[in-house]
Structure 1
Amino acid sequence: MNNLIITGASKGMGREIAKAFALQGLNMALCSRSYTELLKLQKELQAINPGIRVLIRQADASNKDELLAFAGYAEQELGFISVIVNNVGMYEPSSILDDEEDTFQKLINTNLMPAYELYRYFGKTMMAEGRGHIFAISSVAALNPVVQAGTYTVTKFALRGLTDVMRLEMQPYNVKVTCILPGSTLTDSWSGTDVSADKFVLPQDIASAIVCAYNMSPGANVDEIVMRPVSGQL
């Protein structure tokens, strides 16, 4: 049985991705800053598929020590981790010149560092096993800069670049790397909006796309998935 880890798993895209992989029969380790939300999700996932193991750990993925402790816990309890979903991220609506003093480091630590560190932690094991699949949730901001969220855009560009490097490094070892670039997606960052849900990409759509890429034949890698609202960005 394959084993999966997801960062930032308790809400939005992470939650739906976990549910989709539960239906696929994967054991999983999930982290989030909210242990209460993780407990709720754990019960939901075990109801979806009682035959899988669902481990949870409260961890702030933007904190390197907590992130690596989570990675070690997942590996110790589940064994070889064959799927990584780098989901954790944050959006900061600010131009670069108006950023707070800590904005750059905060966004680097949240949007880029976890994917980098988990790759370094698990990458050589995946190489030795000759299999695995790494997913990273970037953004269409990595394709079309959002000046109203300048530093966010920079970090998502960097995350996309990281996935390109990982893909090339992993190609000789049959390890797959897929970058997801969603447009306006109905998550907590849109809380309170008056815009109808059918104008958004939904978290379930992201989960479906990831599982579809995961289920491709061994010789096929989906490099990138770009997904925008049918009527355009909001």
Structure 2
Amino acid sequence: MSMNRQNILITGASSGLGFMMAKLYAAQGKNLALCARRVDKLKLLKTEIEAANPNVKVFVRELDVNNHEQVFDVFKRFAEDLGHIDRVIVNAGMGKGASLGTGYFNANKQTAITNFVSAIAQCEAALELFRAQNHGHLVTISSVSAVRGFRRAMTVYAATKAAITSLTEGIRIDLLGTPIKATTIHPGFIRSEINEKVKTVPFIVDTETGCKAILKAIDKEGANYYVPSWPWAVMCRLMKIAPLRLLAKMS
């Protein structure tokens, strides 16, 4: 069972999953530390949350996760704002890219740095806080695409998500026997800003439905969750053994 995680930090909170998770947590009475590049959107979100939940404390700060020194600074400042941070959700990410060798190295590199190298910075910053206070819950947002390789725009994206899953497992091994937990969430196809131009994908759910499933999984504080669990807990097992021709049809 999860502890009472009252103070929650979410990166990439100005849109998509981060935005919706913030609203759902506020409705549960949680205090929030929200950061993203688009601070104007964060301020609007803060106003909306405080109007609906007057007892909730909301702090917002501008953060480009690719500015790694800023990641450490912003996390420390949030800890000062709230006294301590109980849970950090490493959610900021992007999905630019194309098939390798087709002239889009810069887009692929940008996705690799944002989704993986900058996630390391966020995990480091979170765990420095957690180790100092000797408790906390680190949550990384991976993807069902972490299970196998994918083609075209998904090639580098899926590789970064596999790296996130592996990184978090290594952290989990490191933290065995401590009061610090690490959980990886693998969302299936959830409608959000990152995929709003994608027309038809199987099993897609709206942002709120997807985020409710994510929060339910996070609260269990186990190792790995595939959400929504139907169909993804089953699909991911099948994906592990699927031939490449079948995977080609999925992306």
**Separation in structure 2 between the aligned mates of residue 230 and residue 41 of structure 1, nearest angstrom:** 31
1:79 aligns with 2:83: yes
| Partner SS state of residue 101, structure 2 | helix
Residues 86 and 40 of structure 1, relative CA distance in 2, 3 Å threshold: same
Q: Contact 1:17 / 1:206 at 8 angstroms: preserved in 2?
A: no
1:205 aligns with 2:224: no
The Cα of 1:18 is off from its aligned counterpart by: 0.6
**Separation in structure 2 between the aligned mates of residue 214 and residue 142 of structure 1, nearest angstrom:** 18
Residues 143 and 99 of structure 1, relative CA distance in 2, 3 Å threshold: farther
Aligned to 2:9, which of 5, 12, 15?
Answer: 5
| Partner SS state of residue 96, structure 1 | coil
Structure 2, unaligned runs of 5 or more: 236-249
Q: Contact 1:133 / 1:214 at 8 angstroms: preserved in 2?
A: no
What TM-score results when the alignment is normalised by the length of structure 2? 0.81
The Cα of 1:192 is off from its aligned counterpart by: 4.3
Q: Contact 2:20 / 2:207 at 8 angstroms: preserved in 1?
A: yes
Q: Contact 2:16 / 2:192 at 8 angstroms: preserved in 1?
A: yes
**Separation in structure 2 between the aligned mates of residue 125 and residue 62 of structure 1, nearest angstrom:** 20
What TM-score results when the alignment is normalised by the length of structure 1? 0.86
The Cα of 1:98 is off from its aligned counterpart by: 2.5
Residues 194 and 104 of structure 1, relative CA distance in 2, 3 Å threshold: closer
| 1:153-201 C-alpha deviation (Å, 9 max, x unpaired) | 21111111111011112221122211111222211233245549x9413
Match runs of 1:110-189 below 5 Å: 110-148=114-152, 149-189=154-194
Q: Contact 2:71 / 2:125 at 8 angstroms: preserved in 1?
A: no
The Cα of 1:230 is off from its aligned counterpart by: 4.7
Residues 46 and 24 of structure 1, relative CA distance in 2, 3 Å threshold: same
Residues 93 and 40 of structure 1, relative CA distance in 2, 3 Å threshold: same
**Separation in structure 2 between the aligned mates of residue 30 and residue 133 of structure 1, nearest angstrom:** 16
| Structure 1 range deviating more: 143-152 or 159-168 | 143-152
| Partner SS state of residue 159, structure 1 | helix
| Structure 1 range deviating more: 198-207 or 163-172 | 198-207
Over aligned residue pairs, what C-alpha RMSD do you find?
A: 2.5
Give the share of equivalent positions with the same residue, in percent: 27
**Separation in structure 2 between the aligned mates of residue 176 and residue 47 of structure 1, nearest angstrom:** 32
The Cα of 1:202 is off from its aligned counterpart by: 2.7
| Partner SS state of residue 98, structure 1 | coil
Could you say which residue in structure 2 is the equivalent of 1:222?
222
**Separation in structure 2 between the aligned mates of residue 79 and residue 22 of structure 1, nearest angstrom:** 18
1:95 aligns with 2:99: yes
**Separation in structure 2 between the aligned mates of residue 62 and residue 125 of structure 1, nearest angstrom:** 20
Aligned length: 229
**Separation in structure 2 between the aligned mates of residue 50 and residue 117 of structure 1, nearest angstrom:** 33
Q: Contact 2:96 / 2:108 at 8 angstroms: preserved in 1?
A: no
Q: Contact 1:127 / 1:170 at 8 angstroms: preserved in 2?
A: no
1:223 maps to amino acid: A
